Each structure stands twice: as structure tokens, then as C-alpha cells.
Amino acid sequence: MNNSKSTLQRKRVNILKILVTGGAGFIGSHTVVELLDRGDQVVIVDDLSNSHLKVVDRIEKITGKRPDFFLANICDFSAMEKVFKQYDFDFVIHFAGSKAVGESVEKPLLYYRNNLESTWVLIELMAKYNVKSIIFSSSATVYGQPDAVPIIETSPYSPTNPYGETKMINELFLKDVTAAYPDISVICLRYFNPIGAHESGIIGEDPQGIPNNLMPFITQVAIGIREELFVFGNNFDTHDGTGVRDYIHVVDLAKGHLAAVDYLKANPDASFLIINLGTGRGYSVLDLVKTFSEVTGIEIPYRITERRAGDIATCYADVSLAKDLLGWEAKFDLKRMCKDSWRWQSQNPKGYCGNCSQKE
């Protein structure tokens, strides 16, 4: 056998078959693009409750490859079992879940069911079908009001709403699972504030209704969907009085998942790890508004209002564990995040589907 042929064979052996739950969502779709770009095989399961089938077309447009797609809720054991039976997965990356803080306060049953039962179904099926690795989407929200910044992974849990509580309980559940099933390894990635979009402007964040998060609100003001931004408080103990957060480009975040997959592949005995994914830098609301205006040339009218219930002054990550363990760090700066968020919004003023009601 000549050299190039054996290299080709080796490469084929290294292709990973990865189940991505919630792969049509904001972070999921960007991660699928990165996985496909490097040659991994991806199967998406998504119930499209907060996304569109169009995302799969868009992923294909960017990568030239179409991931297999199944429309199902992850809590549906028999639908999920069919998928596990059909594929011999190497990895699961579990993004699917409900994620609106305010809604979680109003609908705790929905949040506890969607966010906890789904993980339980996945672990049951992983144990049954011998899938040994899972990356779980966690969130900096599990820290609540931090004792100190930058926040390290060993900081105590202190979530302040049902959404954050479901993330915390999932982490505890997964830790218990790894203790009982030594073959299974888990990495929980705690995301800080993902913004930005793929540089093509073809995929991006598409919130339903009035955006809860800052960047989509800013881009909707910029495109003219909303008149002005409401800045929730300017009397925090920060450099300009507005809240400080660790904004991270969604493509950097996506690449953090690839680094986590590679880590688990090289360290199948990793058991259980929790790792922050952020930039390690904090910017205020007004820093973000100013940078957005600088890079786009668009003024963002804003008004200072009352603080939002539960908001904290400052939150940014200690990112040394991600760097040391995964060899990963965020590359894109705030300007790039603003540019890419704006490209997505201006190319897709109404998101994937505007006001269409059916799942297209």
C-alpha cells in the first residue's frame, strides 16, 4: 500500500460520528459547521421549538455537506432510541434545551422536564448503546452572583432561576452518572455570553419575539425593528455603572466544543470535567453599544431604565482551565463579534423565517 492511501485510510478511521442535540440552534448550528468542516459526521436531533429547518439548508450552504436531521424532542425515548440504533455514535454533544430565564420562572414544569428528562434519556441510551462520551451545554448562570471575578470553575453553585437550576442539576446528575458508569466521560462546558455569527452571515442568532439578550436587541434596534435599547441600570459598581459581561464569539465557542471532543478522545478516562468557555475579559453594556456603533457606523439610541431583576454587576471567566486542559482559547475580539452579529442581522432582517408560522 502506498503512503497516500494509508494516510487516507487513517483519516477515515478518525472520522467521528457525533450526535448533536439542538444542532439547529444558535450555538449548535455553529458547532455543526465546525465539525463538518473538519470532516466529522454529524447527526442532528432537534424539535425546532426554537429554531428552523432552514438552518440545515444553511449549514449545507456553508459547508457543502448536509448533516442527517431528525425532528424529535430529546425527551422522546423511543424516537431517540431509533436514532441510537441507526448510528454507532462516538460522541454526544447535548445542546437541546429551553433557555429563557424569564420563561423558566413562569414555566418551571416545562424547564425541569425539557432540560432534565432529555439528559436522562441520552444517558440511558448511551449506556445501552455503548456511547462513552458526552459534552453538555452548561452556563455561567450556575454561578449566580459570584464571590469574585474572574470566576473559576470551583466557585460555588448559586443559580437564581429555574433555568440556572436545571443546568446545575444536570451537572450534578452527570457527575453521579460518571461515578456509577466509569466508562462514561462527561465535559460540562459553562458558556459565558455568546454573540457574533458565522462570518458568512448565513447562520446566526434568531430569537423569537422580543430578545432577552443584549446583542440581538442592539442589532434589532440597528435594523429598525425596535426604536431604542433599554439599558437595565447604570448604578452598578462597574467602570460606567452598566453591567459587565464576558462576551464570546459563537465561532470561538463552537471551536471550544471541538477541543473538548478531542480531549475526551485522547483521554477516555477523563470521567467528569467542568470547564468555563469565555474570553476572560469583561465589557459593559455601554462598551458593547459603543463598539457596535464604531464598527457599523450606526448610532444606537438608548435609554437608561431600572435594573432587571436578578442582574449582577460583573461576570467574566477565568479561562485558564480551558487553555491548560483543552489547549483552547478565544480568538475573536469585541469588534469582530459586533461586525459578525451585524452582518447576520443585516443579511437576514427577520431572521430565518420572518413571521412565518410553520416549521420551514
Q: Active-site positions? A: 163
103 near ligand UDP, judged by CB under 6 A? no
How many whole angstroms from its chain centre is CA 1?
A: 43
The verdict on 158 binding ligand UDP (CB under 6 A) reads no
Q: What is the DSSP string of 176-219?
A: HHHHH-TT-EEEEEEE-EEE---TTSSS----SSS--SHHHHHH
In the list 58, 245, 257, 339, the residue contacting ligand UDP (rule: CB under 6 A) is 245
DSSP β-ladder status, 244-245 and 283-284: antiparallel
CB 42 within 8 A of CB 35: yes
**Shortest-Cβ-distance residue relative to ligand UDP:** 243
Comparison of 270 and 304: residue with beta carbon closer to ligand UDP? 304
- Stretch binding ligand UDP (CB under 6 A), from 22-30, 55-63, 226-234, 275-283: 226-234
Stretch that binds ligand UDP, among 9-17, 179-187, 211-219, 320-328 (CB under 6 A): 211-219
- Part of the chain binding ligand UDP (CB under 6 A), chosen from 10-18, 65-73, 224-232, 271-279: 224-232
Residues binding ligand UDP: number (CB under 6 A): 14
Nearer to ligand UDP, 23 or 164 (CB): 164
For residue 46 the three cell numbers come to 432537534
CB of 280 to ligand UDP, least distance (A): 15
Alpha-carbon dihedral sign for residues 174, 179, 183, 189? positive
DSSP SS3 for 349: coil
**Nearest distance in Å: CB 113, ligand UDP:** 22
Per CB under 6 A, does 76 bind ligand UDP?
A: no
Cβ pair 332, 251 in contact under 8 A: yes
Alpha-helical (H) ranges within the chain are: 3-14, 26-37, 54-63, 77-86, 101-106, 108-112, 118-128, 162-180, 214-223, 250-266, 285-296, 320-321, 334-347
Tally of residues, the chain: 360
* Stretch of 175-183, 209-217, 262-270, 291-299 contacting ligand UDP, by CB under 6 A: 209-217
59 binds ligand UDP (CB under 6 A): no
CB of 311 to ligand UDP, least distance (A): 4
| Cα–Cα distance, 76 to 68 (Å, whole number) | 18
β-bridge pairing 244-245 and 314-315: parallel
Residue 181 within binding range of ligand UDP, rule CB under 6 A? no
For ligand UDP, the binding residue among 217, 328, 332, 344 (CB under 6 A) is: 217
Q: Can you tell me the distance from the alpha carbon of 101 to that of 274, in angstroms, rounded to the nearest whole number?
A: 22
Positions in 281-320 near ligand UDP (CB under 6 A): 285, 308, 311
List the one residue from 41, 49, 213, 267 that touches ligand UDP (CB under 6 A): 213
Provide the binding-site residues for ligand UDP, judged by CB under 6 A. 193, 212-214, 217, 229-232, 243, 245, 285, 308, 311
